[in-house]
Homo-oligomer: A and B are copies of this chain.
Amino acid sequence: MGDGTGEQYRAVAVIGGGVIGASWTALVLARGMRVTVSDPRPDIEPVVRAGLRAVAPTLGELGLDVVALVEDTGALVFESDLAAAVADADVVLENVSERLELKQRVWAAVEVAAPGDALFASASSALTATAIGERMRRPERLVIGHPFNPPHLVPLVEVVPGARTDPAVVDRAIAFYRAMGKSPQLVKKEIPGFVANRLQAALFREAVHLVCEGVVTEQELDRIVTGSIGMRWAIAGPFETFHLGGGPGGLPAFLKHLGKSLQEVSWPSLGAPSLDEPTVALLSDQAQHFDATVDQLAARRDQAIVRLMGALRQVPAQAPE
């Protein structure tokens, strides 16, 4: 398929057949491309095929063609040999474990075996393209494309160039993810955790503090979030939310009225919990009180994401950039 920039994608190599790799595989197949999955584990094929069958109904609800996810149409092959797997790839998506040495080794090998114009993207959530590309001859070819769980549903992909990444590679990666139906967003500077995971870590730290202080339980805190700030942030991000909180004067008025209180009262009073043994025990214990199994909760979340995306499609949260 094309991305509107003249680039054609036919063959994608997915390196690493874990949860993220299987999710990319599902999406790419459902977009009509051929996929070669490369993973050294001997049982990888049945594991990935089971994963594809599991997500097929959800992708079908989104209107995608899922035949290649549930039948052997020949669009999906498995090739444990890395060099062979990438030999005719237009795009290489790497999703191996978050270990620097492993990712460096994989990319050094991919680089010599893949076509010279293939697009290279790592789904790293923490390691940077600068670090991962250190053993590459042409590190300018590599960019981070960081997806969010579950990647076949959640729209965002953080596209993060390394210090040496060619800006043309960034543009190609953004065009590719758009063609896959995702919402890629350029992160202009490499920073540990990129953007969304840093914001998530900041909120989670305070959430842990509030549970440890006995203010609310995990489930109570979750209900508070889904019924207020979570719902709002699905529609308008934190800046737009406070822009609207400022009335006709917008964010400048908000900061004028509440900035001092944020700076002098709210921020200094935030907690700094330690994830020591008693804290982990408390958090783990409360996690026994969710009202369903992890699988049931995940199925409910995925169903809800599909419905939410359908509902918001008619009212864009924000006009396209």
Contact = CB atoms under 8 A, between A and B. Distances in A.
A316 to B, nearest CB: 8
Interface string A224-266: 1111111111111111101111111111100110011111011
A318 B267 CA distance: 30
B235 A304 contact: yes
A248 B235 CA distance: 30
Nearest to A316: B300
B216 A187 contact: yes
A88 B233 CA distance: 40
B283 A274 contact: no
A72 interface: no
Given A188-B214, A188-B215, A226-B317, A294 B236 contact: no
A220 to B, nearest CB: 6
A310 B81 CA distance: 49
Interface centre among A237, A244, A259, A275 (most CB of B within 10 A): A237
Given A210-B195, A216-B187, A222-B237, A308 B297 contact: no
Would you call the interface of chain A mostly helix, strand, loop, or mixed? helix
26 contacts: A156-B228, A183-B223, A188-B216, A195-B216, A195-B224, A198-B206, A198-B210, A199-B210, A201-B262, A211-B239, A222-B236, A222-B318, A226-B235, A226-B318, A229-B233, A232-B305, A233-B233, A233-B234, A247-B294, A252-B283, A255-B283, A259-B275, A300-B315, A304-B315, A307-B315, A308-B312
Given A233-B234, A234-B234, 11 more contacts: A126-B261, A155-B227, A183-B227, A195-B221, A196-B224, A198-B210, A218-B237, A218-B251, A220-B321, A221-B237, A222-B318
The 8 A-B pairs of least Cβ separation, nearest first, read A222-B237, A230-B233, A311-B311, A251-B287, A234-B234, A156-B227, A156-B228, A218-B239
